[in-house]
């Protein structure tokens, strides 16, 4: 990275636009260019250690001795992608019930034990993994190991707890269906992934949850929660010896098992489709545009990721420039790649006032087309690379962040040596690379497009900007598990669920006292 | 499967303690240097060499509570404008500079402060100081820029509050809880007031509040204090002093004399919600600490009182919690429950009020007190992992408390809170006449009204 700010910015600064100084008082302020950088320090990927137990459990250790805390994170390689077709939400429910009772402790006893030592415990599942996360102050390290083992290996899955969780989740269906962000993401994923498990809401639907049985949960747990299917990270104020000895002592008797073989059909090839979910009265439309892309471990992932960042990420963000800076059409516009285990997608997203929806959709699609059609300038690529390479030390600031990168590499089968060479690999990306991956993987003619908002405000504008073909579904009739997305009269109202920590959502309502400048 | 409520579990090694012991673990103290420039700006520097990065924050002591009626949302709008150009920096170029060196930057506005922050690889500290000083001294805004950014802020209001389920909860609650103090409105402000913001307001606001004596600079990261102090002197020392003192006259909220009960319907409201709110004290008052402990007893963790009773055992709520919003001026303690279909809001309301009453009538248990203290120690520890977090802690102490030593000192205050303290503050603040009960319903629910007794 150069030690001085590039000439682009110097020239930009010197050509001042005539604007009015805000301060009325005369300020003697020099006309200046930005100062040069100090000497750049070395950036190295911090130390970590890996160990594998006899039963196949991989253990990652990252020492962190500044704060007297220890964080244990167990990842099990099974998530929504392992849900049977009619049982979406199985991985999620199996995980969410882990801390609601074991063979040894009731749900409230677990809560009591964790809370009384000031610990934190969370469980859950995503598309490709499930997790148990325990944070304690360092003097409770042994307790945390024992608790993690009990929760991961001996969940009770009592009928009472299953019903309790189910009721909670079914209630949340109501709320998620009123959230345009949630609905637009859900419909987008369904369009992109079709009947692949990534296409179903990973917390399930009302239909699938209502039919889930204790037997389903026990079977999922037995099949997937195996030490040779899991990775444990120990991050914190313990020594490597303490970490590995502790993990061995508590988990070595966890019996290994045969790994289930994933049996997944390919997602459908990208096809152009515009789906409008009508929410009358909505003041904004949630806009999601994209298509299938690459799984995380694909060799072209890095280059395509840089291209998408130029389109809508930090260090670039053409979408943000056009939609927010130039035209004030949105508070936030972005694009990102989502690279998962078996497949991936790229998605541009923004939200805009209802009447501007058609214009925003047109501009968004145009930027994707332009990305494919035109070579990026050397300058623009340089800026993106400067950000990504320069940002590297910020992404490994904390021991937990370091562990997260190691876990990601292990989970996706990436080369661990690549962790250290990220800045070099980024800097090696060329304009030709970007052009190649843009041409190969961007398909502006085969986009999945979703608009969730007040259709009456914008639907008549669509053909005027080139979108003649679209479907409109009232939000009250939306059923994500139906082939045509529409609830049939006899089917239960198909609604979907918000996956994340439920309490954090409502805390945010009153806790968030502040407003950020940008996303 | 048989449930065994064991006290010890040799096979697993779990021991359930019948009483808890306060953990001896405590977080390390901050190491910092605080000083004041001649122009009045406060500077706090704290070294951390664990990663070759540095985090810089500038806190301006102005927020939505400084906004007069008719100009709600202005402090936040102004925060946006601070990115729109100064003498040596073009519009939006501040963040471009930051990202061109691999940094991340943003800003936020609260009721009490406006904060501009960025993390950069540590060799770019001079650039950050240069940028922050340039806009502090020479912000340039024209009508066109104001108009364009106003539209962006309106989209933000739509995005965060109007278009989301329950998005307007804070706005509704605070509008009814306050009559006079500017906490009556929220930082985003109203659409009408955003429309009314004028270019003259921008100049007046800048000259009044964006002055060195109203600013605190924090730097946490990989640097040497002496060298950085010199740099800070160079870049910020030349920002001229304020011409007049910063006004601090905020209208006080008169005490509430009788209970208020309001039922209303709101947009984007999927399920009935009950809020029981009481006016409390400010951040730094001795009563604040037992109130924080009360928050933990009520809703930190799944063994907490409100969670256990309303969500787990009686299933009166999908989500429920009770906490104090303890900020610069006296704000609220609120207990909230979102009620599922099939449950009457009145049941949840009664349960929430009972839980608040319990804190007045009985002492919390020794176990609950120790648990809360251990949870507090945990919060302290996990709230200090990153440079940004450390900077925010130090800033909060320096700016809101006006006493940077509280960044570490508060820990000891919390450790010494007693069960009697918790009961005392409950009796002081959770009174009938100081209570607001709001029931917010989806449209079409039929029951609307308000009553003051």
Contacts of A353 in chain B (CB under 8 A): 154-155, 158
Instruction: Give residues 299 to 358 of B whose Cβ lies within 8 Å of A.
Output: 300-304, 307-308, 311-312, 315, 318-319, 321, 323, 325, 327, 334, 336, 338, 340-341
Mutation test of the interface with chain A: which of B73, B158, B239, B331, choosing the one with the most A Cβ atoms within 10 A? B158
Is pLDDT of A7 > 50?
no
Give pLDDT, residue A173: 80
CB distance A149 to B14 below 8 Å: no
Give SS3 for B56: strand
Interface A–B counts its CB contacts (< 8 A) at 374
- DSSP type of residue A510: H
Note whether A112 contacts B303, CB cutoff 8 Å. yes
- Name the pLDDT band for A23 (thresholds 50, 70, 90): low
Among residues of chain A, what percentage have pLDDT more than 70? 89
> What's the pLDDT tens digit per position in B368-409?
999 999 999 999 999 999 999 999 999 999 999 999 999 999
Give pLDDT, residue A10: 37
Note whether B187 contacts A514, CB cutoff 8 Å. yes
Q: What is the mean pLDDT of residues A23-42?
A: 87
Give pLDDT, residue B450: 65
Note whether B87 contacts A31, CB cutoff 8 Å. yes
List CB contacts of B99: < 8 A, sequence separation 6 or more.
A314, A315, A383, A386, A387, B105
> What's the pLDDT tens digit per position in A426-453?
999 999 999 999 999 999 999 999 999 9
- Name the pLDDT band for A5 (thresholds 50, 70, 90): very low
For every residue of B140-201, DSSP letters joined together read B--HHHHHHHHHHHHHHHIIIIISSTTTTHHHHHHHHH-SSSGGGS-TT--HHHHHH--HHH
Instruction: Give CA–CA dist B311/B318, Å, rounded.
Output: 6
Q: What is the mean pLDDT of residues A56-82?
A: 96
Residues of chain B with pLDDT under 70: 1-24, 446-453
Closest Cβ opposite residue A35 in set B4, B130, B385: B130
Q: Record the pTM.
A: 0.92
Contacts of A277 in chain B (CB under 8 A): none
Element (H, E) at A518: none
List CB contacts of A299: < 8 A, sequence separation 6 or more.
none
Give pLDDT, residue A494: 36
φ, ψ for residue A5, nearest 5 deg: -70, 140
Q: Which two tokens stand for residue B21?
A: 């012991």
Nearest by Cα to B137 from B204, B80, B207, B77: B207
Closest-CA residue of chain B to A356: B155
For every residue of B78-136, DSSP letters joined together read HHHHTTS-BTTB-TTHHHHHHHHTT-EEEEEE-SS-EEEEEEEEGGGHHHHHHHHHHHH
- Quickly tell me which residue has 């009619």 as its tokens: A86
Give pLDDT, residue A24: 61
Angle at A321 between CA A315 and CA A324, to 5 degrees: 125
Q: Does B83 touch chain A (CB under 8 A)?
A: yes
Q: Does B365 touch chain A (CB under 8 A)?
A: no
Q: Does B272 touch chain A (CB under 8 A)?
A: no
Q: Report the 10 Å Cβ neighbour count for A125.
A: 26
Give pLDDT, residue A19: 57
Give SS3 for A185: helix
> What's the pLDDT tens digit per position in A111-155?
999 999 999 999 999 999 999 999 999 999 999 999 999 999 999
- Quickly tell me which residue has 């009985």 as its tokens: B362
Angle at A37 between CA A34 and CA A40, to 5 degrees: 160
Q: Does B190 touch chain A (CB under 8 A)?
A: no
- DSSP type of residue A209: H
CB distance A491 to A479 below 8 Å: yes
Note whether B122 contacts A25, CB cutoff 8 Å. no
Q: Report the 10 Å Cβ neighbour count for B39.
A: 16
Note whether B88 contacts A179, CB cutoff 8 Å. no
For all residues of chain A together, what is the average pLDDT? 90
Closest Cβ opposite residue B140 in set A22, A331, A393: A22
Q: Which two tokens stand for residue B422?
A: 């918790």
Give pLDDT, residue B445: 80
Is pLDDT of A18 > 50?
no
Give pLDDT, residue A48: 96
CB distance A270 to A191 below 8 Å: no
> What's the pLDDT tens digit per position in A456-514?
999 999 999 999 999 999 999 999 988 889 987 654 443 333 333 344 444 444 543 34
């Amino acid at each position: 990275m150069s030690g001085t700010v590039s000439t682009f910015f110097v020239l930009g600064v010197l050509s001042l636009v005539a604007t009015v100084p805000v301060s009325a008082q005369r300020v003697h302020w020099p006309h200046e260019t930005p100062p040069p950088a100090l000497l750049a320090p070395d950036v190295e990927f911090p130390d970590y250690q890996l160990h594998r137990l006899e039963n196949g459990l991989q253990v990652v250790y990252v020492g962190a001795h500044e704060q007297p805390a220890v964080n244990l994170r167990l990842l099990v390689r099974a998530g929504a992608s392992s849900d049977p077709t009619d049982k979406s939400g199985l991985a999620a429910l199996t995980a969410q019930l882990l801390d609601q009772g074991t063979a040894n402790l009731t749900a409230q006893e677990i809560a009591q034990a964790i809370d009384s030592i000031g610990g934190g415990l969370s469980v859950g599942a995503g598309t490709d993994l499930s997790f148990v996360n325990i944070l304690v102050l360092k003097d409770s390290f042994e307790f945390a190991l024992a608790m993690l083992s009990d929760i991961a290996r001996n969940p009770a899955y009592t009928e009472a707890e299953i019903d309790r969780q189910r009721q909670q989740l079914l209630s949340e269906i109501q709320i998620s269906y009123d959230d345009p962000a949630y609905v637009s993401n859900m419909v987008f994923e369904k369009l992109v992934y079709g009947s692949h498990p990534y296409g179903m809401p990973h917390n399930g639907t009302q239909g699938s949850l209502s039919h889930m049985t204790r037997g389903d949960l026990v079977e999922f747990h037995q099949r997937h929660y195996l030490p040779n299917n899991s990775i444990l990270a120990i991050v914190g104020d313990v020594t490597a010896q303490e970490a590995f000895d502790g993990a061995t002592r508590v988990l070595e008797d966890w019996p290994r098992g045969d790994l289930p073989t994933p049996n997944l059909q390919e997602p459908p090839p990208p096809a152009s489709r515009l789906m409008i979910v009508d929410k009358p009265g909505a003041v904004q439309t949630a806009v999601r545009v994209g298509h299938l892309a690459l799984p995380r471990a694909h060799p072209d992932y890095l280059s395509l990721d840089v291209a998408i960042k130029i389109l809508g990420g930090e260090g670039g963000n053409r979408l943000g420039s056009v939609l927010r800076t130039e035209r004030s059409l949105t508070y936030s516009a972005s694009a990102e790649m989502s690279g998962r285990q078996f497949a991936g997608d790229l998605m541009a997203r923004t939200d805009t006032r209802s009447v501007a929806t058609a214009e925003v959709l047109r501009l968004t699609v145009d930027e994707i087309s332009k990305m494919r059609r035109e070579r990026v300038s050397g300058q623009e690529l340089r800026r993106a690379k400067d950000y990504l390479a320069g940002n590297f030390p910020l992404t490994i600031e904390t021991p937990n962040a370091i562990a997260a990168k190691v876990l990601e590499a292990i989970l996706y089968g990436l080369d661990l040596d690549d962790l250290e060479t990220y800045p070099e690999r980024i800097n090696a990306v060329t304009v030709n690379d970007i052009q190649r991956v843009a041409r190969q993987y961007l398909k502006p003619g085969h986009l999945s497009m979703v608009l969730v908002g007040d259709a009456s405000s914008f639907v008549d504008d669509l053909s005027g900007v080139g979108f003649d073909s679209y479907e409109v579904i009232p939000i009250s009739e939306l059923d994500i598990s139906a082939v045509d997305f529409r609830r049939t009269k006899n089917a239960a109202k198909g609604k979907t669920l918000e996956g994340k920590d439920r309490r954090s959502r409502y805390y945010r309502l009153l806790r968030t006292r502040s407003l950020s400048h940008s996303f | 499967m048989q449930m065994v409520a064991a006290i010890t579990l040799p096979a697993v090694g779990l021991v359930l303690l019948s009483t808890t012991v306060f953990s001896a673990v405590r977080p390390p103290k901050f190491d910092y240097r605080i000083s004041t420039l001649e122009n009045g700006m406060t500077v706090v520097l704290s070294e951390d060499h664990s990663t070759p990065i540095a985090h810089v924050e500038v806190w301006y002591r102005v927020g939505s509570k400084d906004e007069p009626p008719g100009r709600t949302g202005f402090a936040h709008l102004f925060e946006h404008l601070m990115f729109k150009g100064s003498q040596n920096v073009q519009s939006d170029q501040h963040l471009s500079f930051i990202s061109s060196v691999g940094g991340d930057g943003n800003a936020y506005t609260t009721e009490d402060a406006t904060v501009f922050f960025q993390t950069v690889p540590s060799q770019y500290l001079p650039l950050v100081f240069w940028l922050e000083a340039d806009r502090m001294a020479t912000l340039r805004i024209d009508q066109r820029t104001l108009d364009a950014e106003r539209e962006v802020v309106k989209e933000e209001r739509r995005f965060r509050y109007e278009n989301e389920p329950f998005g307007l909860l804070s706005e509704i609650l605070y509008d009814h809880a306050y009559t006079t103090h500017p906490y009556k409105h929220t930082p985003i402000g109203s659409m009408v007031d955003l429309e009314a913001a004028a270019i003259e307001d921008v100049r007046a606001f800048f000259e009044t509040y964006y002055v060195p004596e109203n600013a605190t600079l924090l730097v946490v990261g990989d640097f040497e204090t002496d060298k950085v102090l010199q740099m800070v002197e160079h870049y910020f020392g030349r920002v001229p002093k304020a011409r007049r003192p910063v006004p601090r006259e905020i209208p006080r909220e008169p005490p509430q004399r009788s209970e208020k009960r309001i039922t209303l319907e709101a947009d984007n409201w999927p399920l009935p919600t009950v809020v029981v709110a009481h006016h409390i004290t400010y951040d730094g008052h001795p009563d604040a600490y037992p109130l924080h402990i009360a928050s933990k007893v009520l809703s930190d963790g799944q063994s907490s009182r409100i969670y256990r009773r309303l969500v787990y055992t009686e299933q009166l709520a999908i989500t429920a919690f009770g906490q104090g919003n303890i900020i610069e001026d006296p704000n609220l303690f609120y207990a909230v429950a979102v009620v599922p279909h099939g449950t009457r809001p009145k049941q949840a309301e009664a349960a929430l009020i009972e839980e608040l009453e319990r804190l007045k009538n009985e002492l919390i248990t020794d176990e609950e007190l120790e648990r809360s203290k251990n949870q507090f120690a945990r919060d302290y520890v996990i709230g200090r992992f990153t440079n940004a977090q450390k900077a925010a802690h130090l800033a909060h102490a320096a700016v809101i408390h006006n006493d940077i030593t509280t960044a570490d000192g508060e820990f000891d205050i919390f450790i010494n809170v007693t069960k009697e303290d918790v009961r005392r503050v409950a009796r002081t603040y959770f009174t009938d006449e100081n209570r607001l009960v709001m029931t917010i319903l989806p449209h079409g629910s039929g029951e609307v009204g308000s009553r003051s007794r």
